[in-house]
A and B are shown apart, each in its own frame.
Chain A
Amino acid sequence: AQTVTQSQPEMSVQEAETVTLSCTYDTSESNYYLFWYKQPPSRQMILVIRQEAYKQQNATENRFSVNFQKAAKSFSLKISDSQLGDTAMYFCAFMRAYNNNDMRFGAGTRLTVKP
């Protein structure tokens, strides 16, 4: 079974600074997908960024980028130039690439961006 671990329950960052959220996972699969979701106080889970395990290049979406270390089974999220609107819960998620590809989520990291 796959497990996803987010070791930082809460983090804070000053507006305009950079913050990195950690995620590790455990799997015996060689092909899979990793995601970061954001859940603001409005509660809707929003997909922030995704990474295919077979791609060596780290995914980037505007101010959001990941550091994917497949051998270490690590998938951290870096938020650059943090904005107040980035305040939210962030969930790391793992999905197998084959049948029964349900997502497995970490417990989340609560990020607060301070003015």
Chain B
Amino acid sequence: ETGVTQTPRHLVMGMTNKKSLKCEQHLGHNAMYWYKQSAKKPLELMFVYNFKEQTENNSVPSRFSPECPNSSHLFLHLHTLQPEDSALYLCASSQDRGWSNQPQHFGDGTRLSIL
């Protein structure tokens, strides 16, 4: 049983569609993260939220739009994606971005396929 839940588990969409990925954590954490995981590449950090404030945007294209309404929920809104955006999108949370020794807890990810 994971403390970080992601929905949907799989998503297939066309390039002109608009969809959203959802992440919810039940761990009482204050920091949440979006990662992109592509085959044979290191995990790419996309966005970081700490106490609902975005503290990191790792040069992510504007077709990805994050939203963090509270410390427990994180969304990734998708619009006009490209085929190279097909990947596994992982959400993670940690106690606090400033805490030095707390590892991140991950969800199961959303497998995104762009047609």
Contact = CB atoms under 8 A, between A and B. Distances in A.
A64 interface: no
A25 B43 CA distance: 15
A102 B48 contact: yes
Interface string B31-56: 00100000011110100100000001
Nearest to A99: B98
Contact of A101 (B41, B97, B106): B97
Given A44-B107, A45-B90, A102 B100 contact: no
A108 B100 contact: no
A13 B106 CA distance: 27
Interface in A57-115: 91, 95-108
B57 to A, nearest CB: 12
Nearest to B109: A43
Contact of A33 (B97, B98, B100): B100
Given A105-B42, A106-B42, A52 B108 contact: no
B104 A103 contact: yes
Interface residues of A, number: 28
A103 B15 CA distance: 31
B103 A50 contact: yes
Contacts of A44: 2, 106-109
B81 interface: no
B106 A97 contact: no
B101 A105 contact: no
27 contacts: A9-B40, A42-B108, A43-B109, A43-B111, A44-B2, A44-B106, A44-B109, A45-B90, A45-B92, A47-B103, A47-B105, A52-B101, A96-B100, A97-B101, A98-B100, A99-B97, A100-B97, A101-B98, A101-B100, A102-B56, A102-B97, A103-B103, A103-B104, A105-B42, A106-B42, A107-B41, A108-B42
Interface of B: 2, 33, 40-43, 45, 48, 56, 88, 90, 92, 97-101, 103-109, 111
